[in-house]
Structure 1
Amino acid sequence: MSRLEIVLASSSKIRRDIISNYDVDVIFYNPEINEEQLKQDNLNLNPRSLAALLAKSKALSLADKFSEKFIIGCDQICIFNGKIMSKPLNEDKAISNLKKLSGNTHNLFGAYCVTKGNEIIIEHQIECEMEMRNLTDSEIEEYVALDKPLESCGAYKFEANGFKLFKSVIGSLEAINGLPFADLKELIDAKI
């Protein structure tokens, strides 16, 4: 039996690291969508539906280039008090986001879409529950300086030092980090 051939439609380093731990042939390729425009065009969607649309759009954006391979599109959002907490992009916003999350529970929602031959064959969602410890302002500032989580939804890098910020988590490490590939591989294997 030949090895599974996957295209990961993502620029995320942690997602690339996760899938590299598996015995699959993988091509890393940035999705060819304007994510910000898609978000603006779909303001009417609830956060979970928007994440699912983005995952689908990312996978389908590469369907013509890689029509014979399984393409995985992903999107993960941080939901706090029913709203999406966007990537902070700067240190002040990261500190502000972490102050809001401190002592509270939020959810990481991951949407995953697998296509082959321009056809959607799998749509999968996983939600993780994350309870953050009560953090002091200095703990937050030191953490942001250490991990620089400016491109991370929730303003933390769980895979680096972010895990130390939490009191409890419900969800697999892969799902928290944005690519539950063990689950997806099982679903793909069932389609072969």
Structure 2
Amino acid sequence: MIVLASASATRRRILEDAGVDFEIDPADVDETAYKTPEARRDPAALGVTLAQAKALDVSRRRPEDWVIGSDQILAFDGGLVSKARSMEEARGRLEAMRGREHVLWSAVALARAGRIVWSDREPATMTMRHFSDAFLDAYLAAEGEGLLASVGCYRIEGRGAQLFARVEGAQATIMGMPLWPLLEALRTNGALPS
């Protein structure tokens, strides 16, 4: 059995759309414990560390299953960005990123029998356009507090697409999971037919 160690609706949809049969069993990992000042200096490695921790947490409970852990880190302006806690914070985040570039590092890990079998990470470089304050007001009103579930305060698969001038990276990576490397790892390890 393949298990997704996440309650993320987006990650669930990515796997469902790819035709992967799986169960959901969310990991119980304190992410803040991993986000030390030293770890924050390497967002790509931090994403892999968190994905591995999530996969291992569930794999220890389900040793016979193939467990997928995933995480996404947003690197911007020399630091890491966490999810906004309010609509005011979301507005400030989008204003700060307007006309600028940020990188989403999506990481994924596969565990079985309480050990990591494979892991990978992929970047997506996102360049926001110079949108107007009026556009931002309309966007925030239309999207509402659902934006707070995304670290970037946007859903690229929806209205959030209008925030960008240029995007470099796979859609699934932008949404939070490097899908094609994961599918290959699942096939290589016999969890999916080759």
Report if TM-score (shorter chain) is over 0.5.
yes
- Cα distance between partner residues in 1 of 2:20 and 2:76: 35
What code does the residue aligned with 2:162 have?
K
Alignment correspondent of 1:120: 116
**1:130 partnered with 2:120:** no
SS at match of 1:25: coil
Q: Answer yes or no: is 1:151 the counterpart of 2:146.
A: no
- Determine if the alignment matches structure 1 residue 10 to structure 2 residue 6: yes
In 1, the alpha carbon distance for the partners of 2:85 and 2:9 equals: 16
1:32: how far off? 1.5
**Quick one: which amino acid aligns to residue 181 of structure 1?**
L
Q: Does 1:174 align with 2:168?
A: no
Maintained 8 Å contact 2:66/2:110: yes
- CA deviations over 1:144-186 (Å, ceiling 9, x no partner): 2222311211111112211111111011111110123232111
Contact 2:71 2:177 in 1 (8 A): no
User: What secondary structure, in the 3-state scheme, does the structure 2 residue paired with 1:159 have?
Assistant: coil
Residue number in structure 2 paired with 1:25: 21
Give the corresponding residue for 2:182.
Answer: 184
Q: Please say which of residues 142-151 and 107-116 is displaced more in the overlay.
A: 142-151
Offset, 1:139: 1.3
TM-score, scaled to structure 1: 0.91
CA contact (8 A) 1:147 1:157 kept: no
The number of residue pairs the alignment matches comes to 186
1:190 deviation in Å?
1.4
CA contact (8 A) 1:72 1:112 kept: yes
Equivalent position to 2:138, from 142, 163, 175? 142
Task: Please state how far the C-alpha of 1:101 moved relative to its aligned partner.
Answer: 0.8
Q: Which has the higher helix share?
A: 2
Could you tell me which of 33, 40, 44 is aligned with 2:38?
Answer: 44
**Structure 1: distance between partners of 2:86 and 2:110:** 32
Gap runs ≥5 in structure 1: none
What is the percentage of aligned positions where both structures have the same residue? 31
> Retained in 2: the 8 A contact 1:109–1:128?
yes
Q: Distance in 2 between matches of 1:82 and 1:29?
A: 34
Contact 1:31 1:59 in 2 (8 A): yes
Matched, 1:58 2:54: yes
Secondary structure at 2:109's aligned position in 1?
strand
- What SS does the aligned partner of 1:61 have? helix
**1:86-121 CA-partner distances (Å, limit 9, x unpaired):** 111210010000011111111101111110111211
Letter in 2 for 1:99: E
Do structure 1's residue 105 and structure 2's residue 98 form an aligned pair? no
Distance 1:186 1:38 in 2: 28
* Alignment gaps of 5+ in structure 2: none
